[in-house]
Structure 1
């Protein structure tokens, strides 16, 4: 049996997914002074080795077979208990033996699972010193074996089993962060850091391990009323850290505390969103995108050791689907589409949320699994993963390796 499905936009929560802060928290003068604002350097941007990727061939309905794309696939059921219930996987971080999951839906929780799906712990929520309250992002420090949670005014550190280690208060707000060899990279959004004067207009901060801001750059290129975005604008593979911005066409890679380089320039110029749209409000943007056949990039980028993943979006006539593009790192060839054909061999597919070694890792809700998996496939596979799932089950992790593109 063959099924064709569109890869619908599931990571965008239009108008509400960005972490809104009505007023910046009150920080003391002493806290702000610790940032060393007077010595912050401008972040240098190098573009000499930037690679241009031509996406113009993917700007229409394009179907691809899962078997043409995927070399091998593994499905992992996340253990479902009263303590481990996940509403939606908004961010997934994978290290050897562990999945760390951020669910930013109602309740906003962080979960730890073993790589075979067994539940380990939910980080306690509350306003105590060892608890998290209204978390905004997660990352891992592999060198020290820490799971780090952005928790209101700072970062809460835990070991991989979820035991509390420490908490560091930060006198600035941000959207996403990544751990660097000697510090951190922070990506911000508008209206969060008015107390930082001129730095409040910058999207990227590079800090040392003590959170002293060393460099900053990338002025906001869109209206501060455009609350429209995805969960994560950063990516990392081994020691490489990359980042991008919504409504942009470039991906950048961290070099050192004072410099980044343009890694990729995405070219979909035949239907690229006009720059004047950047001055719109959220409602104006939504109306314009639904009325015009434009494509746009929101910062989706995931890299494993053999391939890279990108996504561009189109909302024309309220279609709201995403076009996925994979790049073979050896050949440089691109493959993708917005519609994928499934069968009994590969009955499920998910856009990547994370990567580990040469595999991409995505997730599919139990409701979607039940909708797309036929009774025939369940019987043929004789797979307890599918036969035991119900509407209340946790999402299914999809771990897959892609074929080489020659």
Structure 2
């Protein structure tokens, strides 16, 4: 059925968004229980091999701050500041071309918010506010699809299919506002949509705001979490479902504060920095609300429910100067003695995780952990190099 006028979608399409599991039966990552199964988070048992992609440095491919990236079977695409468009590299790190350059003409872009790949159709998907442009892996502009949906982020989770997260800090009773949606851009169909997430008994819609989004690839598509709720949601080809819960120990009043006041901080609690999924585990990185220099890693075993916890020894504010996504606060690499493991994106359905480290961050980590200087790939990285992309192949 063709998509209706958007103001009707939130009323009608919600009937297709029921959950597979009731929230009380979901796996729970309890951050408040001091009796953890282990004081060390592990991942080496899930890593089969590691692929390193040092990005070639040329005048055309010089990378400043990376804003987003996407990895296909053959290529790495980088969206960076101080560059015009998207940089395309092969999986050996050789620079291929620039695509989606800035401008107002066909195939040109203005304000990119995210990029992703449609591997089945061999397309690069470049999302702007209210439009998505598609390019072949050969750099050819294919088409541009316009939409009136007010999304904040958009990622391809299947052939022609986009997972979308709604705008932050806007009252949920505003016409057209939604929290999560899955849409087929080829047929103009709405696969699933949720107007809001969280316990709606706490606040009326006019007082409820979406908090800061956190997301990563999931087994079925995309995992999404909004500050102030306790559920991580999965957006897939079959709809929108709860994936797992995180128990922060928030009271009802604390939840109301977070969901009605953008940026509100509840003292003494953990706050989600980023998470990812592997075939066996959900792994979460948190900072302390009253001290954002202190970070903690938690893992939840999907089968047993065991929770492991580890506190990072690295000062996050010091690391932040070298890489804002704080990849260096990661899990011990016992596979080949390389960098701490913390993927920028996980693709558990493809059994891949993709990590990003800047050259200055790698130099910082080599000084902090001298054994990294012996690693054959890291030896070749200097502070003037382009970033290093690491691809973990999972068992």
Establish whether residue 353 from structure 1 lines up as the match of residue 380 from structure 2.
no
Aligned length: 354
Distance 2:216 2:371 in 1: 37
1:295 pairs with one of 253, 256, 270: 270
Q: Relative to structure 1, is the Cα distance of residues 87 and 63 closer, same or farther in structure 2, using a 3 angstrom cutoff? A: farther
2:259 pairs with one of 275, 278, 281: 278
Q: Relative to structure 1, is the Cα distance of residues 327 and 227 closer, same or farther in structure 2, using a 3 angstrom cutoff? A: closer
Distance 1:207 1:117 in 2: 33
Establish whether residue 114 from structure 1 lines up as the match of residue 90 from structure 2.
yes
Per the normalisation by structure 2, the TM-score is 0.73
User: Post-superposition shift, 1:74?
Assistant: 4.4
Map 1:40-51; keep pairs closer than 5 Å: 40-43=12-15, 44-46=17-19, 47-48=21-22, 49-51=25-27
Distance 2:287 2:252 in 1: 10
Cross-structure match for 1:398? 390
Map 1:109-148; keep pairs closer than 5 Å: 109-123=85-99, 124-148=101-125
SS of 2:298's equivalent? strand
Q: Relative to structure 1, is the Cα distance of residues 355 and 233 closer, same or farther in structure 2, using a 3 angstrom cutoff? A: closer
Map 1:103-252; keep pairs closer than 5 Å: 103=80, 105=81, 109-123=85-99, 124-179=101-156, 180=158, 183-190=161-168, 198-200=175-177, 202-209=178-185, 210-213=187-190, 215-219=192-196, 229=212, 233-237=215-219, 239-252=220-233
User: Post-superposition shift, 1:41?
Assistant: 2.2
Q: Deviations over 1:5-33 (max 9, x none)?
A: xxxxxxxxxxxxxxxxxxxxxxxxxxxx9
User: Post-superposition shift, 1:121?
Assistant: 2.4
Per the normalisation by structure 1, the TM-score is 0.71
Gaps of 5+ in 1: 1-32
User: Post-superposition shift, 1:154?
Assistant: 0.5
User: Post-superposition shift, 1:95?
Assistant: 2.6
Establish whether residue 313 from structure 1 lines up as the match of residue 287 from structure 2.
yes
Q: Deviations over 1:296-354 (max 9, x none)?
A: 236x34334444332333232x3334323344555554444232667995242142112
Q: Relative to structure 1, is the Cα distance of residues 183 and 388 closer, same or farther in structure 2, using a 3 angstrom cutoff? A: closer
Map 1:358-377; keep pairs closer than 5 Å: 358-374=351-367, 377=371
SS of 1:45's equivalent? coil
User: Post-superposition shift, 1:35?
Assistant: 3.7
Cross-structure match for 1:94? 71
Gaps of 5+ in 2: 313-330
SS of 1:360's equivalent? strand
Distance 1:189 1:402 in 2: 33
SS of 2:176's equivalent? helix
- Asked if structure 1 preserves the Cα contact closer than 8 Å seen for 2:366 and 2:372, the reply is yes
Distance 1:345 1:184 in 2: 36
